[in-house]
């Protein structure tokens, strides 16, 4: 919780904060669950501190740790559950990406593991009965909530369906299995209707990211490397060894593999043709953690000590986190470009630093009548969280729909800019983009930018460019979408 309090939000976290500012049935990029959770734990945006913004992730990770223990205990015993909980904690994806940062993965992983735990219980029982039927109905809800967190949750039904058809066809005679699927579908109807009424913007955006023309081996190997890193290299090696050496045929282990392999294989196939992100199949690797723990338990059956491999994995996580914190906050200079106007370009550590400094620099410079413009969803999210919200200023992101994302729906919530009003345009040197000709056509002129430096260990690592936009002429689309947006 201390780390969640002191670390500034990254690009994605700040962007998902804007979901909570205006709740919808669906969003341009993702389903609504992460926005709902942020809004709840921030008490309707009144507690605008990083700890409360990330509280969903922290609580979900705590719940996931308990669930992963219960799954391990189901596989063998409490010691297996303990091993699984420790391996889960050592996973960079589970502890940091989904367990500290507030992303759609945070609620997704909780509902994913909750569903896995329920389905493991179901396959160990008779095909009918009040208890099984009620658990099947409950699974429909938990998978629905998982999909409402991130669409990847649909792989739970794909995996369970494959398992039932291959290994447990007797379940096909239970009507509650179909009722469970219908419950999930019913929960997705509002999101589908939103997507339908908004010209399938979500589908069009994600489908444009995936194509199958020309293989790109470099993206495939980059995906493999990312999976190893996100899982924790020690965890990954332990999993590979377990898959190679574990020979016993068990229905519960088979079910875990059914939940994992379809998603892993799908992402790997996509990575042969497209750039992918390794956290896309994070839940699949987490699902295999209890299986890894079971294999370790069999190897260390005569000792109560935590195996050296698990202690090494946890040590690697702790060391890596400490190093990252040190670099983000104290590295002397930029890790990216060192020349203006793009000082700091490609330095990812700047995503999580400098925004409080910017707030302190601007709070006495900007009037309450000011409006802020910026060209992209990042730094649009950061400017909204760290400048717009605390100073009660509208932050409008303008550009193409693929540039501004959810801000196309958020922009109309702000009052229209009065004719002849002035505004500010803010961009950052590590993602430098001066006011476009498209935006400037709505103003008479712009002035020279004010440069606000960001320091780290006494060295300038980035500049914030603050351009005055003078004498608004009117006509800017309320949603901020500039169809033709020349630079």
- Contact yes or no for 428/438 (Cβ under 8 A): no
- Identify the pLDDT of residue 180: 98
Question: What is the number of residues in the chain?
Answer: 487
Residue labelled with tokens 């309320």: 478
Residue 114, CA distances (Å) to 54, 69, 130, 139, 162 in order: 20, 12, 20, 8, 19
Q: Is the pLDDT of residue 12 over 70?
A: yes
User: What CA–CA distances, in Å, run from 313 to 99, 106, 130, 237?
Assistant: 17, 22, 42, 10
Boundaries of every domain in the chain: 2-316, 348-472
Check: CB of residue 437 under 8 Å from CB of residue 385: no
DSSP state of 457: T
Q: Where are the alpha helices (DSSP H) in 129-250?
A: 130-147, 154-167, 175-197, 201-208, 217-231, 233-245
Mean pLDDT of 74-78: 95
C-alpha span between 49 and 475 (Å, rounded): 36
Name the helix (H) or strand (E) containing 88. helix 78-90
d(CA 252, CA 264): 19
Average pLDDT over residues 323-346: 94
CA distance 99 to 35: 16
Percent of the chain with pLDDT over 70: 98
Nearest to 452 by CA among 433, 428, 432, 435: 428
Q: What is the pLDDT of residues 55-67, one digit of tens each?
A: 999 999 999 999 9
Could you give the 3-state DSSP secondary structure of residue 456?
strand
pLDDT value at residue 124: 85
CA–CA gap between residue 115 and residue 209 (Å, rounded):
29
- Asked if 45 and 389 touch (Cβ cutoff 8 Å), the reply is yes
Q: For residue 288, give the H/E element and its range.
A: none
What's the confidence (pLDDT) of residue 463?
Answer: 98
Cα gap 141→138, rounded to integer Å: 5
In the predicted model, is pLDDT for residue 484 greater than 70? no
Q: H or E stretch including 16? A: helix 11-21
Residue 286: cis peptide before it, omega within 30 degrees of 0: no
Specify the 3-state DSSP secondary structure of 104. coil
Average pLDDT score, the chain: 95
SS (H, E, C) 307-373: CHHHHHHHHHHHHHHHHHHHHHHHCCCCCCCCCCCCCCCCCHHHHHCCHHHHHHHHCCCCCCCCCEE
pTM for the complete prediction? 0.95
pLDDT at 200: 84
**Positive/negative CA dihedral, 124, 127, 130, 136:** positive
338 burial (CB, 10 Å; 0-12 / 13-18 / 19+) is: middle
Distances (CA, A) of 400 to 246, 327, 432, 487: 52, 34, 17, 12
Q: What residues are paired with 294 via a beta bridge?
A: none
- What SS3 class is residue 37? helix
Statement: residue 92 has pLDDT above 90: yes
Q: Is 355 left (phi over 0), alpha (psi -120 to 50) or beta?
A: alpha
pLDDT 10s digits, 108-144: 999 999 999 999 999 987 666 888 999 999 999 999 9
Model confidence band, residue 213 (pLDDT cutoffs 50, 70, 90):
confident
What pLDDT digit, counting tens, does each position of 374-430 carry? 999 999 999 999 999 999 999 999 999 999 999 999 999 999 999 999 999 999 999
Q: Tokens at residue 469, please?
A: 């936009």
- Which residue in the block uniquely carries the two structure tokens 């091993």? 83
Q: Is 6 helix (H, G, I), strand (E, B) or coil?
A: helix
- Residue 486 scores a pLDDT above 60: no
The whole-number pLDDT of residue 485 equals 56
The tens digit of pLDDT for each residue in 343-385 reads 999 999 999 999 999 999 999 888 777 899 999 999 999 999 9
Backbone φ and ψ for 392, nearest 5 degrees, come out as 60, 45
Reduced to 3 states (helix: H, G, I; strand: E, B; else coil), residue 462 is: strand
Q: Residue with structure tokens 């712009």?
A: 446
Torsion region of 423: left, alpha or beta (phi above 0 gives left; psi -120 to 50 gives alpha)? beta
How much is the pLDDT for 193?
Answer: 97
Sign of CA pseudo-dihedral 232, 234, 236, 242:
negative
| Per-residue pLDDT, 247 | 84
Q: How would residue 202 be classed by pLDDT, with cut points 50, 70 and 90?
A: confident
Q: What is the pLDDT of residue 127?
A: 64
User: Residue 56 half-sphere exposure, CB side, CA atoms within 13 Å?
Assistant: 30
pLDDT at residue 413, as a whole number = 96
pLDDT tens across 265-282, in order?
A: 999 999 999 999 999 999
pLDDT at 128: 67
| pLDDT value of position 257 | 98
DSSP annotation of 306 reads: P
Would the pLDDT of 487 be above 60? Answer: no
pLDDT at 446 over 60: yes
- Output the CA–CA distances (angstroms, integers) from residue 2 to 7, 30, 101, 327, 382, in the order listed: 9, 28, 13, 17, 21
- pLDDT tens across 142-180, in order? 999 999 999 999 999 999 999 999 999 999 999 999 999
């Amino acid at each position: 919780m201390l780390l969640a309090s002191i670390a500034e939000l990254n690009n994605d976290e700040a962007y998902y904060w804007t979901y909570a500012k205006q709740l919808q049935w669906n969003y341009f990029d993702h389903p609504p669950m992460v926005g709902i959770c942020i809004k709840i734990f921030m008490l309707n945006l009144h507690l605008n501190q990083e700890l409360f913004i990330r509280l969903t992730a922290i609580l979900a990770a705590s719940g996931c740790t308990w669930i992963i223990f219960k799954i391990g205990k189901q596989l063998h015993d409490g010691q297996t559950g303990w091993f699984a909980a420790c391996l889960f904690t050592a996973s960079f994806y589970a502890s940091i990406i989904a367990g500290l940062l507030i992303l759609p993965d945070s609620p997704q992983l909780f509902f994913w593991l909750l569903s896995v735990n329920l389905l493991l219980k179901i396959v160990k029982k008779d095909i009918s009965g009040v208890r099984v039927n009620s658990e099947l109905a409950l699974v429909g809800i938990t998978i629905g909530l998982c999909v409402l967190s991130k669409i990847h949750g649909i792989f739970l039904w794909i995996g369970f369906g494959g398992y039932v058809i291959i290994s447990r066809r007797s379940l096909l005679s239970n009507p509650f299995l179909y009722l469970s699927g219908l419950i999930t579908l019913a929960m997705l109807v509002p999101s589908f209707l939103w997507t339908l009424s908004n010209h399938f913007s979500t589908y069009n955006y994600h489908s444009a990211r995936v194509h199958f023309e020309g293989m790109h081996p470099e993206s495939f190997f980059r995906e493999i490397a990312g999976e190893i890193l996100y899982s924790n290299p020690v965890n990954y090696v332990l999993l590979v060894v377990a898959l190679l050496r574990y020979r016993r045929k068990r229905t519960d282990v088979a079910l875990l593999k059914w939940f994992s392999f379809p998603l892993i294989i799908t992402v790997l196939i996509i990575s042969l043709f497209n750039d992918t992100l390794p956290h896309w199949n994070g839940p699949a690797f987490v699902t295999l953690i209890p299986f890894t723990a079971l294999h370790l338990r069999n190897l260390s059956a005569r000792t109560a000590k935590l195996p050296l491999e698990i202690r090494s994995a946890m040590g690697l996580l702790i060391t890596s986190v400490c190093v990252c914190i040190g670099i983000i906050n104290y590295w002397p200079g930029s890790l990216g470009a060192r020349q203006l106007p793009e000082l700091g370009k490609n330095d990812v550590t700047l995503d999580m630093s400098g925004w409080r400094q910017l707030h302190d620099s601007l709070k006495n410079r900007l009037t309450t009548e000011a409006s802020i413009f910026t060209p992209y969803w990042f730094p649009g999210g950061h400017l909204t969280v760290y400048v717009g919200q605390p100073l009660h200023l509208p932050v409008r992101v303008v550009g193409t729909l693929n540039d501004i994302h959810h801000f196309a729906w958020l922009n109309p919530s702000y009052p229209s800019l009065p004719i002849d009003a002035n505004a500010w345009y803010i961009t950052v040197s590590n993602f430098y983009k001066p006011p476009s000709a498209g935006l400037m056509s709505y103003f008479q002129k712009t002035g020279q930018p004010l440069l606000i430096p960001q320091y780290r260990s006494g060295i300038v690592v980035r500049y914030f460019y603050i351009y005055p936009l003078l004498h608004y002429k009117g006509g800017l689309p309320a949603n901020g979408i500039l169809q033709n947006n020349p630079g």
